[in-house]
Structure 1
Amino acid sequence: MFTVYAISSIERSYIYVGLTSNLESRLFRHNSGYEKTTRPYRPFSLIYQKEFLTRLQAREHEKYLKTSSGKRSLANISK
């Protein structure tokens, strides 16, 4: 199983979209500062997750969420 997820910075206006096979571990890495891209925006809360059977399906959905319409839908969730 592969999970597409979105996390929102609690203190700043920032949403990160990613893909993983181990969501719990990935969230820990983001919130602990192990990921260079998200380190300045910690701490995070999980605002979206969706599971897929294949990595290809998950990657397609991740790419959609990174488009302007996907970002708008995530911004509405995080409000």
Structure 2
Amino acid sequence: MPFCYILFSQKLNKYYVGACTDIERRLYEHNIGHSKFTATGMPWLLVYKEQFENLSLAKQREAYIKKQKSRKYIMALIG
């Protein structure tokens, strides 16, 4: 099932927002340095996820969260 997800890096004190169809595989990839962007922040912790019917909807949600450009918004989602 597709997900929109938020990761947190204690090392960088930053959040990362993404979308994928296999959340366990994607988290693994982030934590082995597969992506240049997230390689410097390892280890990444999954702090939030939303499940969607299709990847298109998950990516729309990802884009919406990113457009907020707000750490406060992300922290409110996480609770």
Do both share a fold (TM > 0.5)?
yes
TM-score scaled by length of structure 1: 0.85
1:7–1:16 CA contact under 8 A, matched in 2? yes
How much has 1:71 moved relative to structure 2? 4.0
Please tell me the residue identity of whatever aligns with 1:39.
Answer: A
Measured against aligned partners, the alpha-carbon deviations of 1:3-47 in whole angstroms (never above 9, x if no partner) come to: 000000022221110011000000001111111110011111111
> Which one-letter code corresponds to 1:60 in the other structure?
Q
Aligned position for 2:7: 7
Q: Percent identity?
A: 29
Q: Which residue of 1 aligns with 2:28?
A: 28
User: TM-score normalized by structure 2?
Assistant: 0.85
Mapped partners of 1:67, 1:75: distance in 2? 15
Quote the Cα distance in structure 2 between the aligned partners of 1:53 and 1:70: 26
SS at match of 1:48: strand
Note the C-alpha offset of 1:72. 2.4
**2:37 matches 1:37:** yes
- Is 2:58 the counterpart of 1:58? yes
User: Is there any run of 5+ residues in structure 1 with no aligned partner, and where?
Assistant: none
Structure 2 unaligned spans of 5+: none
